[in-house]
Amino acid sequence: MIFSLGKTATADFIELDTGIRGFLSVDSLPPDFFVFSPEEYELPLRDSPWLTFSEWVIQQQDTQSGVVQAFGAWADQTLSGDPRILPQNRSYLRLAGSSTSETGDLLQFKPQVRFRLDLPTTQERFRLVLESESEELTSIDEQRQERQRTRRDEEESRVTTALRYLYELGDMVNVSADIGVRVKANPDAFVRLRGVALRQLDDNWNLALDQRFYYFFVRGFGTRSYAAISRPIGNGWRYTADASARWIHPERTFELGQGHRFYKRLNHRAELSPRLGVQGTNRPNWQPTVYFTDVTYRYRLYDDWLFGEITPTLEFPREDNFSDRYAITLRIEMFFSGEVR
């Protein structure tokens, strides 16, 4: 990593590119740090391959974000038959690349593309949604590793198209019903029902519930449940305890997961999120399948659309007789959207 310090006397501290503030005070700098010579008043621009490439990336993000949002707005207007555009359009395109090194398998790299075309019609209760993946058929273990691992079963990656009906039971409870199809070589039609509830239990504790029921005409019936409680614990930290369960009816299989996560925004650019937990299954009998812990450091590299992550991971999987397995993942993400989701 390269640290660059410029000349300034307008702040009480200097913020390094690591996002950690306050380690270098103005008083510790030499006097000549604040002195400009006449030839430094207007220095010529220095061209470089990195500067040219970074300017091209910034230009592409501005251009393609407009294309994504314009296409979503056009489709919304066309399908609804109304010239108005609702502000809730959540269309996005996310490009990412991850490089993972782990025990016995070094330097994996894999690009990743995720997208959503979210088209709220002017009838408000109906919405056409196109997504790159269906979370219902993603295992709890794959969902946990989605941002950390490069070995993902590409056979499960399909475009999902659904017509969604939204209904609010109250200020904190929303229900949605979908009918759609997963598109690939063998299309799979489905129906699904989802209920989400958010509730503040007291001055500190918050509760979140997410329950899904789905039926795929090829894969069959299943359910997915999620519950989490969270609260601030001081010094900018927030604690979350969550539990997940997934029932696969054709296989008569339960997948279970329990985790504890801590989160802190270090500053306006950096976030830190340690996590630990356990996952298990009921096949062939009730047993844990993996114990894990990881720490994600996320840094906003540029504006609100370019991010970098570093995630060291330690696992104890049953398939390796609970021997330790180490991994570290470097990830970079770029969003093409008017708003990061």
**Strand ranges in 152-205 using DSSP code E only, listed in sequence order:** 159-168, 173-183, 188-200
pLDDT score recorded for residue 157: 58
pLDDT score recorded for residue 46: 67
Highest mean pLDDT among 27-36, 40-49, 249-258: 249-258
**CA 241, 242, 248 angle in degrees (round to 5)?**
165
* Whether 201 and 329 share a structural domain: yes
As a whole-number percent, the residues of the chain with pLDDT over 70 amount to 63
Rounded distance between C-alpha atoms, residue 72 and residue 79, angstroms: 11
In a domain, 49, yes or no: no
Average pLDDT score, the chain: 76
* Whether 77 and 104 share a structural domain: yes
* Whether 162 and 93 share a structural domain: yes
Rounded distance between C-alpha atoms, residue 273 and residue 299, angstroms: 12
pLDDT score recorded for residue 190: 92
pLDDT of residue 155 exceeding 50: no
* Whether 24 and 96 share a structural domain: no
Q: How confident is the model at residue 76 (pLDDT cuts 50, 70, 90)?
A: low
Residue 24, token pair as written in the block: 């270098």
pLDDT score recorded for residue 30: 65
* Whether 1 and 147 share a structural domain: no
CATH number at residue 192: 2.40.160.40
Count Cβ neighbours within 10 Å for each residue of 239-272 and write b for 16 or more, e otherwise.
ebebebbbbbeeeeeebbbebebebeebeebbbb
* Whether 24 and 147 share a structural domain: no
In a domain, 341, yes or no: no
In a domain, 312, yes or no: yes
Average pLDDT (155-160) is: 65
In a domain, 33, yes or no: yes
Residue 326, token pair as written in the block: 């180490």
In a domain, 191, yes or no: yes
* Whether 97 and 38 share a structural domain: no
Rounded distance between C-alpha atoms, residue 97 and residue 308, angstroms: 10
Cα 36 from chain centre = 44
* Whether 40 and 142 share a structural domain: no
In a domain, 262, yes or no: yes
Higher pLDDT, 89 or 263: 263
* Whether 231 and 170 share a structural domain: yes
Cis peptide before 284 (omega within 30 of 0): yes
**Strand ranges in 90-172 using DSSP code E only, listed in sequence order:** 92-102, 105-120, 126-131, 159-168
Rounded distance between C-alpha atoms, residue 35 and residue 58, angstroms: 33
Average pLDDT (224-247) is: 95
* Whether 205 and 138 share a structural domain: yes
Average pLDDT (284-307) is: 90
* Whether 251 and 328 share a structural domain: yes
Helices (H) and strands (E) in the chain, counts: 2, 14
For 9, the domain range is 1-44
Rounded distance between C-alpha atoms, residue 25 and residue 256, angstroms: 49
pLDDT score recorded for residue 104: 66
Higher pLDDT, 114 or 192: 192
In a domain, 94, yes or no: yes
pLDDT score recorded for residue 276: 96
In a domain, 34, yes or no: yes
pLDDT of residue 11 exceeding 80: no
pLDDT score recorded for residue 34: 65
* Whether 204 and 325 share a structural domain: yes
Highest mean pLDDT among 71-80, 104-113, 130-139, 231-240: 231-240
68 exposed, middle or buried (CB, 10 Å; 0-12, 13-18, 19+)?
A: buried
Instruction: Report the domain count for the chain.
Output: 2
Residue 206, token pair as written in the block: 């918050």
